[in-house]
Structure 1
Amino acid sequence: MGEARLPGTLDALLRQARTILQEAGIAGAAYDARLIVEHFAGITQADLIASPGRAVAAAQAMAVLAAARQRAAGKPVHRILGYREFYGLKLMLSAETLEPRPDTETLVDLVLPHLRETVRRRGSCTILDMGTGTGAIALALLSAVPEARAVGTDISDDALATARTNADMNGYSERFVTRRSDWFGEIEESFDLIVSNPPYIATAEMDELSREVREHDPVNALHGGVDGLDAYRQIAAEAVGHLNAAGAIAVEIGSSQAADVKEIFASNSFQAADAAADLAGHDRAILFIAC
């Protein structure tokens, strides 16, 4: 497309980006088009509303339309932007990090009362976030509980680097450290809270995932073994040795896994103390304490 045919104003650019996505059958085309225009044109939603006729530079228009074509081809919009908002934080993404999603905010909300009670009793609290990825869970908890400190572990050096970047960017680097560890492999100390959003997709379900997830989220952060429960077995088997007195462990789960995960933890001397449902009404996070 030559520059003469590029949209010259914000509203024209938004319309063309939206059309590209709609013709590709992208759900939420209008929303994604707006995010793309705001990001690559360097504007805000208020600018779109107040100044729709504002002139757009050719380089910006080309960047917007190139991004719209990426989205039309199936690349998730936040992968294109390079970041995603989670619990009020801006988190950078990378190739080996799972894109944090609203369902995981359910886990954050579930454990906050436990953390605040620990702070009330002890004046501080410690968190282990296993499979930290972008650092989303740990950093969200640190943002809500100033007295907390967290260790984020992962087997991916890329993910650990991204988590450190996000801690620095959001101002939590003094209370957040990363460690390369395969679950509890390199963990010696104990914590007041252990949290994890482990891989929980069963082998047979991997091919059923949406194209955006299947082709762009890292497999190691998705595939949980034949039945999707491998990570829960390992976490439950070793967690008790890494919990302080009155400590708790909380995990995100798949929408149909509540009974199985509770049974796994029960067989390792944990009882479900609380649970939280997602917007569809399915248990999405469970909090356990030692029996």
Structure 2
Amino acid sequence: MSGFFARGRLFDLEESDQERLNAAAVRLRDAGLDNARGEAQMLWASVFATDGRDRGAALQEFDHRVGQRAARMPMSHILGGRDFFAHRFAVTADVLDPRPETETLVSLALERPWTRVLDLGTGSGAIVISLLAARAGASGMGTDLSQGALEIAAQNARQIGVADRLALRQGAWFDAVPGDAVFDLIVSNPPYISSDEMSRLAPELSFEPRMALTDEGDGLSAYRAICARAAAHLSAGAPLMVEIGHSQGAAVAALFDAAGFRAVRVLPDLDGRDRVVTGDAP
């Protein structure tokens, strides 16, 4: 008998289980996945973590999940969630899969004083919910064009315990924000992949909402829309913070400058790549 550790426990494997796991790892490797063995173990653990399941049904479910991953469905869609910052978020095909590099935006926002935050294009709500969960007494608003995304964000807000402090509104960027609403922090992780880049992306991204990935143009149109109206919804000196693609720092910083933002900076993620542009409202 052999086994492996996952989810804080040891999963014992009979010889037939080990053979099944080995075959799954080969299938995932042939599908182009680098960590095929680790992903096969993760899928096994996701099925067998619940004690008392019918073994035959569990093995069928494992094979099904391996097939989904071999088709390059994101692991978060198969498992139904993704760990981000300090919490686990429900994830479906209606929302962008929260990524570790986006935690940089959350960390930088928590370095600033604020009590009312606006998240434009909130998706799963990972950014604004993480911020509210880390700052008791703060309140926020999240906007998104997708009703499906807002339903997932609402589910996550309830699960993490901030639903009473978060308003969710449907609409494009500031169109969903009341005209007299003023915040002391605005954050956004907008679609920033250019149309030319889309064909070169990992297969997993085909399972995510296209409108959350690309503006179908040069990758900068969302920043233009945000910069044009952000100052009207920020208190004086309050920050606007946006995630960017690693090559967009200079272009997005120029948009901040043109809109009158002060102390504009381009900041890196933990891998040293440009990740966030921040500036203070005039």
- Normalised by the length of structure 2, the TM-score is 0.88
Aligned partners of 1:129 and 1:195 also within 8 Å: yes
Note the alpha carbon deviations across 1:90-146, whole angstroms, 9 max, x for none: 1111222000100100110111111xx34xxxxxx0010110000000011112111
Alignment equivalent of 2:73, drawn from 75, 87, 90 = 75
Alignment equivalent of 2:95, drawn from 94, 97, 101 = 97
Alignment equivalent of 1:140, drawn from 130, 135, 157 = 130
Count of residue pairs the alignment pairs up: 268
Match of 1:190 in 2: 182
Match of 2:5 in 1: none
Q: Compute the displacement of 1:87 (Å).
A: 0.7
Q: Distance in 1 between matches of 2:280 and 2:56?
A: 58
Match of 1:234 in 2: 225
Q: Does 1:29 align with 2:36?
A: yes
Q: Secondary structure of the residue that 1:276 maps to in structure 2? A: strand
Q: Compute the displacement of 1:258 (Å).
A: 0.3
- Normalised by the length of structure 1, the TM-score is 0.86
Q: Is there any run of 5+ residues in structure 1 with no aligned partner, and where?
A: 1-6, 45-53, 119-124
Match of 2:262 in 1: 271
Aligned partners of 2:123 and 2:149 also within 8 Å: yes
Alignment equivalent of 1:161, drawn from 130, 151, 157 = 151
Higher helix share: 1
Alignment equivalent of 1:18, drawn from 14, 25, 28 = 25
Aligned partners of 1:86 and 1:100 also within 8 Å: yes
Q: Distance in 1 between matches of 2:93 and 2:66?
A: 20
Q: Distance in 1 between matches of 2:109 and 2:266?
A: 10
Match of 2:45 in 1: 38
Alignment equivalent of 1:205, drawn from 197, 205, 209 = 197
Percent of paired sites with the same residue: 39
Note the alpha carbon deviations across 1:125-180, whole angstroms, 9 max, x for none: 00101100000000111121112111111010000000000011111111112111
**Closer, same or farther: CA 15–246 of 1 in aligned 2, 3 Å:** same
Aligned partners of 2:249 and 2:266 also within 8 Å: no
Q: Distance in 2 between matches of 1:104 and 1:198?
A: 11
Q: Is there any run of 5+ residues in structure 2 with no aligned partner, and where?
A: 1-13
Aligned partners of 1:41 and 1:56 also within 8 Å: no
Q: Distance in 2 between matches of 1:279 and 1:10?
A: 38
Q: Distance in 2 between matches of 1:264 and 1:273?
A: 10
Note the alpha carbon deviations across 1:5-30, whole angstroms, 9 max, x for none: xx776655543432321232312212
Q: Secondary structure of the residue that 2:237 maps to in structure 1? A: strand
Aligned partners of 1:272 and 1:286 also within 8 Å: no
Q: Distance in 2 between matches of 1:160 and 1:95?
A: 13
Q: Secondary structure of the residue that 2:57 maps to in structure 1? A: helix
